Amino acid sequence: SHEMPMKIQIAPSSPSPEIRLIVTADDLGIGEERDDGIFEAHRAGIVQAASLLVNGDNAVQAAKKALECGLTLGLHLNLSEGPAVSDSSNVKSLLTWQRAHWCGPPASNGGALEFRGRYEFIDALTKGQVSLEEVATEVAAQLERFHALLGYTPTHLDGHQHTHVLP
């Protein structure tokens, strides 16, 4: 037997459906100046949520402040800039030697192993030089760090520099 598709009718007296817009700021935790702007926009009612870079220089302070002011946080998954959360020996295919720190002055020790950078990461990924097992290791480490900083699972997940849309 074939069922007829359900028809949905809205009565003329029904109010129009409510559309809810959630403005989410990303890069929270990258540095104090940007974080201050995000918290100011939240206080003004413009920003309802933010995405936290758990490997950012200001991640610990930003997480504490978000908990204090009730800002909802998701994970801003980062595979393109800065240091890995995982032990670097476990995610070698994701990293390269960087002479300057990703969100500040040159590294004080002359350089460090950090993520490849957006375009180098995309290039290595398309050439099959990135281990998907290592990507999974780093994603798990960032999720664990998020939970350790905030005590809850992220409400959402997005990608720094849109890495979440890469194949």
Residues forming the active site: 26
How far does CA 110 lie from the centroid of its chain?
27
Q: Where are the alpha helices (DSSP H) in 57-117?
A: 59-69
Query: Residue 149: how many CB atoms within 10 A of its CB?
Result: 19
Interatomic CA distance for residues 156 and 13, integer angstroms: 36
Residue with tokens 């220089």: 57
Query: Residue 10: how many CB atoms within 10 A of its CB?
Result: 9
